[in-house]
Each structure stands twice: as C-alpha cells, then as structure tokens.
Structure 1
Amino acid sequence: MKIYLAGPEVFLPDAQEIGAAKKAVCAEYGLEGLFPLDGGLDLSGLTQRQAGLAIYDANIALIEAADGCIANVTPFRGPSLDPGTAYEIGHMRGLGKPVFAYSNDVRLFAARTRAFCGVSGARDEEGLLIEDFGLTDNLMIDGAAVCSGSPILCEDKEGVLDDLAAFRACAARAADILLETRT
C-alpha cells in the first residue's frame, strides 16, 4: 500500500533526510511512503511560476497514485496547519481515500488561535468568531481524519515539525486500517 506523506517538512533544510526517515518508518509497517520531493523534477530552465506548477503536477500525481495519506498537521506559520497540506488532505478525501493525521502540538485549535490573536474570548480583535469545537484543527481537517477511521494523533513536542514520535504512531494506525481493508 502506498501512502502519501503530506506536511510542511519540505520547507525544512534537511527535508530529504526527513523524507527518507519517514519512508523508512512506513516500510517498517508494510507501507510505501511517497514523499513530495520524490518527483525527481528537473526544474532548470523554468521560471519560478513554471517550477511551482510543475511541483504541483508532480505532487498531484503522487497523491493520485497513493492508497491513502499521512498528514503532518502541526501548526505552521500560524495557529493552523500548512495550507498546502490542507489542500492535499482535501484532494485525497475527494478521491475517496483515507487521511491519517498527526500533530506535534497538543493544544486545541481554539486555544492556539486565541494565543495567536492575543485574545481570550470567543471573537478575535476584528470581531470574527473563533472556531471552537474542541478539535485539533479546523473542523474540516479533523473530520477528514475521523471519517478515515482515526482521530488526529497528537504528541506534546512544542510544535516541532520534524519529531517522528506521532508520525510513527500514525503510520502504525494507518497500516492497521489500510492493510486490514486490503484482506
């Protein structure tokens, strides 16, 4: 079973090494990890725009080749997950494929949003309601994971993007569910 590895790790300086480590964990559980940087793209000679769209196409091909997705929804540059990861989750669910997710931040979405906005009430400084359903992230993200058979798994790692403890637990859960449905 192939599993797409969504998350903001692609932005880290050691992205290739983290991707390799995640793929090795997947292999321990009988899964083939597909990391976004696996495309082997030659971006030379392309404009920035062309390169960005080529990366998009390569990632969509990996998503569509996968049987499911493990997504790192640890907050990234704000109180919520990386927007590219959110898109990948939605695309995967739109294909009817399962999404398994984890976060290295145990705080709930509402608490993180209030802290980010510097408020304590139900609304932010612009008067906009703060989503508060007792979930890990936006309700659509949690819903994608729950509908796939597993809530978002969380570890208290202070939001560190590259810690693999929660990823390992998520990979084990994904393998249990995916490999069980295969038989």
Structure 2
Amino acid sequence: MSSSTNPNTPTTATKPKIYLAGPDVFYPNAVARGQELKTLCTQHGAIGLFPLDNEIASVELGSHAMADAIRTANMRLIAAADGMLANMTPFRGPSMDVGTAYEMGAGAALGKHIVGYLLGEKLGYTKKVQAVHKVERHTDGHLRDEQGWSVEEFLEVDGGDGLVDNLMISCGVEKLCMSEEEGIKALVDIWRRKQEGKQ
C-alpha cells in the first residue's frame, strides 16, 4: 500500500520532530552517533533533531561566546520539537548528564513530550550512589553519605529497584525505555494519540 493511501504512514507535514538530548554529543564519533539516532527516527516516522545539526556562527573556539551560541541554538531546536528523547544513562558519575537534565526541564516548561532511555543495566539511584560513596543508614532513618547528605530512595510505580535518578528527572518523563528505538517508538505513539485527539 502506498503512503498516499495508508493513513498510518506519516507524510512530511505530519511527522513529529524529536529533539535528541544526551551526552551523545561527547561521543568520539558524535556526528555518526547523531546520524544513527536520526535514522532510527526516520524509520519510525519521525524527524530527529540532533544538537550538532546546528550551524554555529564563526566565533572563537572555546570562547564564552561559542558556549552561549551553542546553548541558544539548542534551545531553538527544543522549541521547534514536538517531543524530546533524553539519554538518561549515567554520565561521569551516578547521575545523568547535567546538560541533558537542563534540557529536559526546559522541554517540560515548554510543554514538550519527554521520554527517557537508558543504555545498559537499569539501576536505582540509591544503588548507583552506593557504588561511589560510603552510604549508611542513620538513626533518623535516612541513608546518608560521608558528608551527612541524605540520599534519595524513592520507588518506581511498579517498585523495582527505585527511581533511576533524582525524582525531578525520574518523575518528569512520560516513559522510561531501555533503548533508543523503544523511546522513539513511544514518542511517536504519544504524538499520534495526541493528534488523533484533536480530530
């Protein structure tokens, strides 16, 4: 059946735009990684927007002006997107990439659909902190690290191993997936259901 007669095949005008957030921009082969994610989007009827797609005006490499230009360009991409796929895999510590967390907050404030995904094992935040810090149960009932700071230990809806990151992040996604492809499919499904509700 051709795309012109199949209502389930998105046309260019009806494909959701997905902002691809994550520390993937730091990959050794970041451009190729971005293309991989964008190809997955295309295969599932969406348009992927990767931060490295931005054309940054000629400014001094490593300057504050360049950093500000990158942030501004990324914020424009987020505003133009229908949803966001966020790589929440731990990055240089027990938590996800802080830049991605910021983008998720910005997307939420703009009313974007946000789906997260993990690469590798799904561990609760408490266990991840315990892997890098000495954590003990104190007399007040709280888990605390070496400096006495309390450690979050909230359960997921289905219990499991607990929320995978800070509650503001974990409770801010519409779904947490275990692969990029699963996340893209979830976002496309969420977007389609929203479109159907408008008809």
TM bucket, shorter chain? 0.7 to 0.9
The residue correspondences of 1:1-183 to structure 2 (distance < 5 A) are 1-45=16-60, 48-104=63-119, 105-121=121-137, 122-133=143-154, 134-145=162-173, 148=174, 150=175, 152-154=176-178, 166-183=179-196
Secondary structure, in 3 states, of the residue corresponding to 2:172?
helix
Choose 66-75 or 99-108, whichever is displaced more.
Answer: 99-108
Q: What is the rounded CA distance, in whole Å, between the counterparts of 1:47 and 1:84 in structure 2?
A: 17
Q: What is the rounded CA distance, in whole Å, between the counterparts of 2:22 and 2:150 in structure 1?
A: 27
> 1:173 is matched by which residue type in structure 2?
A
Q: What is the rounded CA distance, in whole Å, between the counterparts of 1:176 and 1:4 in structure 2?
A: 16
* Aligned-residue identity in percent: 41
How many residue pairs were aligned? 168
What 5-or-longer segments of structure 1 have no aligned partner? 155-165
> 2:177 is matched by which residue type in structure 1?
L
> Structure 2 vs 1, CA of residues 47 and 113 (structure 1 numbering), >3 Å: closer, same or farther?
closer
TM-score, normalised on structure 1?
Answer: 0.87
Q: What is the rounded CA distance, in whole Å, between the counterparts of 2:34 and 2:117 in structure 1?
A: 16
TM-fit CA distance, 1:101: 0.2
**Aligned 8 A contact 1:68 1:99 in 2:** yes
Q: Which residue of 1 aligns with 2:158?
A: none
What 5-or-longer segments of structure 2 have no aligned partner? 1-15, 138-142, 155-161
Q: Flag the structure with larger Rg.
A: 2
Extract structure 1 runs of 4+ deviating beyond 4 A: none
TM-fit CA distance, 1:45: 3.7
TM-fit CA distance, 1:47: 5.7
> Structure 2 vs 1, CA of residues 24 and 112 (structure 1 numbering), >3 Å: closer, same or farther?
same
Q: Which has the higher helix share?
A: 1
> 1:77 is matched by which residue type in structure 2?
R
Q: What is the rounded CA distance, in whole Å, between the counterparts of 1:171 and 1:19 in structure 2?
A: 14
**Aligned 8 A contact 1:114 1:130 in 2:** no
TM-fit CA distance, 1:46: 5.8
**Root-mean-square deviation (CA), in Å?**
1.3
Q: Which residue of 1 aligns with 2:9?
A: none
